[in-house]
Amino acid sequence: MEVDLHIHSTASDGTFSPKEIVQMAVQKNLKAIALTDHDNIDGLKEAQHYAKLYNLEFVNGIEFSCSSFGNEVHILGYFLNLNDKIFINRIQELLKSRDTRNKKIIEKLNKNDIMISIEDVEKESDGNILGRVHFANALVRKNYCKDIDEAFEKFLGKNGLAYEPRINCSPETVVQYLKENGAFSSLAHPKFISKDENFILDLIKKLKNYGLDGIEAEYSSFNSDEKKKYKSWAKKFDLIITGGSDFHGDNREHLSLGDAGLNYQQFLKIKKKWEEIL
Protein backbone atom coordinates (compact mmCIF):
# COMPACT_ATOMS: atom_id res chain seq x y z
CA MET A 1 0.00 0.00 0.00
CA GLU A 2 1.12 3.56 -0.71
CA VAL A 3 -1.35 5.52 1.41
CA ASP A 4 -2.68 4.81 4.93
CA LEU A 5 -5.59 7.04 5.94
CA HIS A 6 -6.52 5.52 9.31
CA ILE A 7 -3.86 5.85 12.02
CA HIS A 8 -3.95 6.51 15.77
CA SER A 9 -1.18 8.00 17.90
CA THR A 10 -0.58 8.68 21.58
CA ALA A 11 -2.90 11.67 21.15
CA SER A 12 -5.73 9.14 21.54
CA ASP A 13 -5.38 5.38 22.02
CA GLY A 14 -2.25 4.56 20.03
CA THR A 15 1.15 3.81 21.53
CA PHE A 16 3.43 5.68 19.10
CA SER A 17 3.84 9.45 18.99
CA PRO A 18 2.96 11.43 15.86
CA LYS A 19 6.68 11.86 15.19
CA GLU A 20 7.28 8.12 15.45
CA ILE A 21 4.35 7.39 13.13
CA VAL A 22 5.77 9.71 10.48
CA GLN A 23 9.16 8.04 10.79
CA MET A 24 7.58 4.58 10.45
CA ALA A 25 5.66 5.70 7.38
CA VAL A 26 8.86 6.96 5.76
CA GLN A 27 10.63 3.67 6.57
CA LYS A 28 7.78 1.78 4.90
CA ASN A 29 8.00 4.04 1.83
CA LEU A 30 4.43 5.27 2.17
CA LYS A 31 3.63 8.25 -0.03
CA ALA A 32 0.93 9.79 2.16
CA ILE A 33 -0.72 9.26 5.53
CA ALA A 34 -3.53 10.74 7.63
CA LEU A 35 -3.47 10.89 11.41
CA THR A 36 -7.01 10.19 12.62
CA ASP A 37 -7.01 10.24 16.40
CA HIS A 38 -10.32 9.82 18.20
CA ASP A 39 -12.29 13.03 18.70
CA ASN A 40 -9.24 15.29 18.87
CA ILE A 41 -6.58 17.03 16.78
CA ASP A 42 -3.84 17.26 19.40
CA GLY A 43 -1.28 15.28 17.41
CA LEU A 44 -1.68 17.00 14.06
CA LYS A 45 0.81 19.86 14.44
CA GLU A 46 3.60 17.50 15.51
CA ALA A 47 2.82 15.12 12.65
CA GLN A 48 2.67 18.01 10.17
CA HIS A 49 6.07 19.25 11.31
CA TYR A 50 7.85 15.94 10.88
CA ALA A 51 6.03 15.01 7.69
CA LYS A 52 7.34 18.24 6.15
CA LEU A 53 10.88 17.43 7.32
CA TYR A 54 10.71 13.96 5.76
CA ASN A 55 8.87 15.13 2.63
CA LEU A 56 5.89 12.88 3.38
CA GLU A 57 2.46 13.99 2.20
CA PHE A 58 0.30 14.46 5.26
CA VAL A 59 -3.46 14.85 5.73
CA ASN A 60 -5.02 16.46 8.79
CA GLY A 61 -7.55 13.90 9.97
CA ILE A 62 -9.82 12.84 12.82
CA GLU A 63 -12.09 9.93 13.71
CA PHE A 64 -15.32 10.97 15.39
CA SER A 65 -17.07 8.52 17.70
CA CYS A 66 -20.83 8.65 17.17
CA SER A 67 -23.87 6.53 17.92
CA SER A 68 -27.06 5.75 16.04
CA PHE A 69 -29.90 3.77 17.64
CA GLY A 70 -27.50 2.06 20.02
CA ASN A 71 -24.91 1.29 17.35
CA GLU A 72 -21.40 2.74 17.36
CA VAL A 73 -20.67 4.67 14.19
CA HIS A 74 -17.30 6.21 13.41
CA ILE A 75 -16.86 9.04 10.91
CA LEU A 76 -13.46 9.87 9.47
CA GLY A 77 -12.66 13.45 8.52
CA TYR A 78 -9.84 14.43 6.15
CA PHE A 79 -8.21 17.72 5.09
CA LEU A 80 -9.48 19.52 8.17
CA ASN A 81 -9.43 23.30 8.26
CA LEU A 82 -7.71 23.87 11.60
CA ASN A 83 -8.32 27.63 11.42
CA ASP A 84 -12.07 27.06 11.73
CA LYS A 85 -12.76 28.18 15.32
CA ILE A 86 -16.36 26.95 15.25
CA PHE A 87 -15.18 23.46 14.29
CA ILE A 88 -12.48 23.46 16.99
CA ASN A 89 -15.05 24.48 19.61
CA ARG A 90 -17.31 21.64 18.51
CA ILE A 91 -14.47 19.18 19.04
CA GLN A 92 -13.95 20.55 22.56
CA GLU A 93 -17.62 20.00 23.36
CA LEU A 94 -17.37 16.38 22.25
CA LEU A 95 -14.36 15.88 24.50
CA LYS A 96 -16.41 17.00 27.49
CA SER A 97 -18.86 14.17 26.82
CA ARG A 98 -15.94 11.73 26.93
CA ASP A 99 -15.02 12.97 30.41
CA THR A 100 -18.59 12.41 31.60
CA ARG A 101 -18.60 8.88 30.21
CA ASN A 102 -15.25 8.04 31.79
CA LYS A 103 -16.46 9.12 35.23
CA LYS A 104 -19.49 6.85 34.89
CA ILE A 105 -17.27 3.90 33.90
CA ILE A 106 -15.16 4.46 37.03
CA GLU A 107 -18.30 4.53 39.17
CA LYS A 108 -19.53 1.24 37.70
CA LEU A 109 -16.15 -0.43 38.16
CA ASN A 110 -15.98 0.69 41.79
CA LYS A 111 -19.51 -0.59 42.46
CA ASN A 112 -18.30 -3.99 41.26
CA ASP A 113 -15.36 -3.89 43.70
CA ILE A 114 -12.87 -2.97 40.98
CA MET A 115 -10.95 -0.27 42.77
CA ILE A 116 -9.54 1.79 39.92
CA SER A 117 -9.35 5.57 39.89
CA ILE A 118 -9.30 7.98 36.99
CA GLU A 119 -5.66 8.67 37.94
CA ASP A 120 -4.87 4.99 37.33
CA VAL A 121 -6.35 5.29 33.86
CA GLU A 122 -4.53 8.54 33.11
CA LYS A 123 -1.22 6.76 33.73
CA GLU A 124 -1.97 4.57 30.71
CA SER A 125 -2.25 7.51 28.32
CA ASP A 126 0.45 9.79 26.95
CA GLY A 127 -2.14 12.24 25.63
CA ASN A 128 -5.19 14.10 26.86
CA ILE A 129 -7.72 11.55 25.63
CA LEU A 130 -8.86 8.60 27.74
CA GLY A 131 -10.51 5.73 25.90
CA ARG A 132 -11.63 2.26 26.86
CA VAL A 133 -8.27 0.77 25.90
CA HIS A 134 -6.67 2.88 28.64
CA PHE A 135 -9.20 1.49 31.13
CA ALA A 136 -8.38 -1.99 29.86
CA ASN A 137 -4.64 -1.45 30.33
CA ALA A 138 -5.27 -0.18 33.87
CA LEU A 139 -7.33 -3.30 34.66
CA VAL A 140 -4.51 -5.49 33.41
CA ARG A 141 -1.84 -3.54 35.27
CA LYS A 142 -3.77 -3.86 38.55
CA ASN A 143 -4.27 -7.61 37.95
CA TYR A 144 -8.04 -7.49 37.59
CA CYS A 145 -7.73 -8.99 34.09
CA LYS A 146 -5.10 -11.08 32.35
CA ASP A 147 -5.24 -9.12 29.09
CA ILE A 148 -7.09 -6.42 27.17
CA ASP A 149 -9.52 -8.90 25.60
CA GLU A 150 -10.67 -10.10 29.02
CA ALA A 151 -11.05 -6.50 30.20
CA PHE A 152 -13.42 -5.74 27.34
CA GLU A 153 -15.30 -9.01 27.69
CA LYS A 154 -15.90 -8.67 31.44
CA PHE A 155 -16.13 -4.94 31.95
CA LEU A 156 -15.80 -2.56 29.01
CA GLY A 157 -17.54 -4.21 26.06
CA LYS A 158 -21.20 -3.71 25.28
CA ASN A 159 -22.21 -6.56 27.61
CA GLY A 160 -19.62 -5.73 30.26
CA LEU A 161 -20.36 -4.78 33.87
CA ALA A 162 -18.99 -1.27 33.44
CA TYR A 163 -20.15 -0.53 29.92
CA GLU A 164 -21.35 3.01 29.44
CA PRO A 165 -22.89 4.07 26.12
CA ARG A 166 -21.46 7.05 24.34
CA ILE A 167 -22.92 10.47 24.93
CA ASN A 168 -22.10 12.23 21.73
CA CYS A 169 -23.27 13.58 18.41
CA SER A 170 -25.16 11.63 15.83
CA PRO A 171 -23.22 10.69 12.67
CA GLU A 172 -25.51 12.99 10.71
CA THR A 173 -24.43 15.94 12.84
CA VAL A 174 -20.75 15.06 12.53
CA VAL A 175 -20.95 14.76 8.74
CA GLN A 176 -22.61 18.16 8.67
CA TYR A 177 -19.85 19.60 10.90
CA LEU A 178 -17.20 18.27 8.52
CA LYS A 179 -19.04 19.60 5.48
CA GLU A 180 -19.24 23.06 7.04
CA ASN A 181 -15.51 22.83 7.83
CA GLY A 182 -14.71 22.11 4.16
CA ALA A 183 -13.38 18.65 5.03
CA PHE A 184 -13.88 15.27 3.35
CA SER A 185 -15.97 12.76 5.35
CA SER A 186 -15.97 8.97 5.18
CA LEU A 187 -17.87 6.23 7.01
CA ALA A 188 -15.29 4.14 8.88
CA HIS A 189 -15.24 0.30 8.85
CA PRO A 190 -18.96 -0.20 8.05
CA LYS A 191 -18.83 -3.89 8.97
CA PHE A 192 -18.62 -3.07 12.67
CA ILE A 193 -21.67 -0.80 12.86
CA SER A 194 -24.34 -3.50 12.97
CA LYS A 195 -25.04 -7.09 11.95
CA ASP A 196 -28.10 -5.72 10.15
CA GLU A 197 -26.83 -4.67 6.73
CA ASN A 198 -30.12 -2.97 5.90
CA PHE A 199 -29.54 -0.66 8.86
CA ILE A 200 -26.08 0.21 7.54
CA LEU A 201 -27.37 0.81 4.02
CA ASP A 202 -30.15 3.05 5.33
CA LEU A 203 -27.57 4.93 7.39
CA ILE A 204 -25.32 5.44 4.37
CA LYS A 205 -28.25 6.75 2.35
CA LYS A 206 -29.12 9.18 5.12
CA LEU A 207 -25.52 10.33 5.61
CA LYS A 208 -25.15 10.84 1.87
CA ASN A 209 -27.96 13.38 2.09
CA TYR A 210 -26.01 15.19 4.80
CA GLY A 211 -22.89 15.35 2.64
CA LEU A 212 -21.00 12.09 3.24
CA ASP A 213 -18.19 11.79 0.69
CA GLY A 214 -16.72 8.31 1.13
CA ILE A 215 -16.82 4.85 2.65
CA GLU A 216 -13.89 2.92 4.10
CA ALA A 217 -13.86 -0.18 1.91
CA GLU A 218 -10.15 -0.97 2.28
CA TYR A 219 -9.58 -1.98 5.90
CA SER A 220 -7.08 -4.21 7.66
CA SER A 221 -9.49 -6.91 8.85
CA PHE A 222 -11.76 -7.03 5.78
CA ASN A 223 -11.49 -10.11 3.59
CA SER A 224 -11.66 -9.88 -0.20
CA ASP A 225 -15.41 -10.52 -0.34
CA GLU A 226 -16.10 -7.81 2.22
CA LYS A 227 -13.94 -5.31 0.38
CA LYS A 228 -15.78 -6.13 -2.82
CA LYS A 229 -19.14 -5.65 -1.08
CA TYR A 230 -18.27 -2.28 0.42
CA LYS A 231 -16.84 -1.08 -2.87
CA SER A 232 -20.16 -1.98 -4.50
CA TRP A 233 -21.92 0.05 -1.81
CA ALA A 234 -19.66 2.99 -2.56
CA LYS A 235 -20.59 2.73 -6.22
CA LYS A 236 -24.29 2.41 -5.38
CA PHE A 237 -24.28 5.66 -3.40
CA ASP A 238 -21.70 7.48 -5.56
CA LEU A 239 -19.15 7.62 -2.73
CA ILE A 240 -15.36 7.63 -2.91
CA ILE A 241 -13.47 4.60 -1.55
CA THR A 242 -11.15 5.33 1.38
CA GLY A 243 -8.92 2.96 3.31
CA GLY A 244 -6.41 2.47 6.07
CA SER A 245 -4.94 0.11 8.62
CA ASP A 246 -6.51 1.52 11.82
CA PHE A 247 -3.04 1.23 13.34
CA HIS A 248 -2.91 1.59 17.14
CA GLY A 249 0.61 0.38 17.83
CA ASP A 250 0.94 -2.07 20.72
CA ASN A 251 -2.73 -1.62 21.62
CA ARG A 252 -3.70 -3.61 18.53
CA GLU A 253 -1.37 -6.58 18.10
CA HIS A 254 -0.46 -8.16 14.76
CA LEU A 255 -1.31 -4.98 12.88
CA SER A 256 1.32 -2.78 11.28
CA LEU A 257 1.24 0.68 9.77
CA GLY A 258 0.35 0.38 6.09
CA ASP A 259 -1.17 -3.11 6.40
CA ALA A 260 -4.20 -1.72 4.59
CA GLY A 261 -4.90 1.39 2.60
CA LEU A 262 -4.90 2.73 -0.92
CA ASN A 263 -2.71 3.15 -3.94
CA TYR A 264 -1.79 6.73 -4.70
CA GLN A 265 -4.15 6.99 -7.68
CA GLN A 266 -7.14 6.29 -5.42
CA PHE A 267 -5.83 8.88 -2.98
CA LEU A 268 -5.80 11.42 -5.82
CA LYS A 269 -9.52 10.72 -6.36
CA ILE A 270 -10.14 11.65 -2.73
CA LYS A 271 -8.13 14.85 -3.13
CA LYS A 272 -10.04 15.73 -6.28
CA LYS A 273 -13.38 15.24 -4.50
CA TRP A 274 -12.18 17.36 -1.60
CA GLU A 275 -11.13 20.14 -3.96
CA GLU A 276 -14.62 20.06 -5.43
CA ILE A 277 -16.02 20.52 -1.91
CA LEU A 278 -13.93 23.66 -1.50
Q: What is the pLDDT of residue 158?
A: 82
Q: How far apart are CA 16 and CA 128, in angstroms?
A: 14
Q: What is the pLDDT of residue 1?
A: 86
Q: How far apart are CA 6 and CA 260, in angstroms?
A: 9
Share above pLDDT 90 across residues of the chain, in percent, rounded to a whole number: 80
Closest CA to 37 of 66, 62, 4: 62
For residues 94 and 168, the answer to whether their CB atoms sit within 8 Å is yes
- May I ask the CATH architecture of the domain 3-84+170-277? Alpha-Beta Barrel (3.20)
pLDDT tens digits along 103-159: 999 999 999 999 999 999 988 887 777 888 889 999 999 999 999 999 999 999 888
Q: How far apart are CA 11 and CA 16, in angstroms?
A: 9
* Per-residue pLDDT at 232 exceeds 90: yes
Backbone angles phi, psi at 163, to 5 degrees: -65, 135
Q: How far apart are CA 172 and CA 71, in angstroms?
A: 13
Q: What is the pLDDT of residue 18?
A: 97
Average pLDDT over residues 48-61: 98
Q: Estimate the share of the chain in helix, then strand, then coil, as percent rounded to the nearest 5.
A: 45, 15, 35
Q: What is the pLDDT of residue 96?
A: 78
Q: How far apart are CA 42 and CA 35, in angstroms?
A: 10
* Structural domain spans, the chain: 3-84+170-277, 93-156
Q: What is the pLDDT of residue 241?
A: 98
| pLDDT-derived band at 252, boundaries 50, 70, 90 | confident
Average pLDDT, the chain: 93
Average pLDDT over residues 43-56: 97
Alpha helices (runs of H) in 29-183, residue ranges in sequence order:
44-53, 85-111, 118-122, 132-141, 148-151, 171-181
* CA 92 centroid distance within chain: 16
| pLDDT-derived band at 168, boundaries 50, 70, 90 | low
Q: How far apart are CA 31 and CA 270, in angstroms?
A: 14
Average pLDDT over residues 170-196: 96
Q: What is the pLDDT of residue 198?
A: 97
Average pLDDT over residues 207-235: 97
| pLDDT-derived band at 217, boundaries 50, 70, 90 | very high
Q: How far apart are CA 239 and CA 215, in angstroms?
A: 6
Fold of 93-156: DNA polymerase; domain 1 (1.10.150)
Q: What is the pLDDT of residue 246?
A: 97
Q: What is the pLDDT of residue 167?
A: 66
Model-level pTM? 0.87
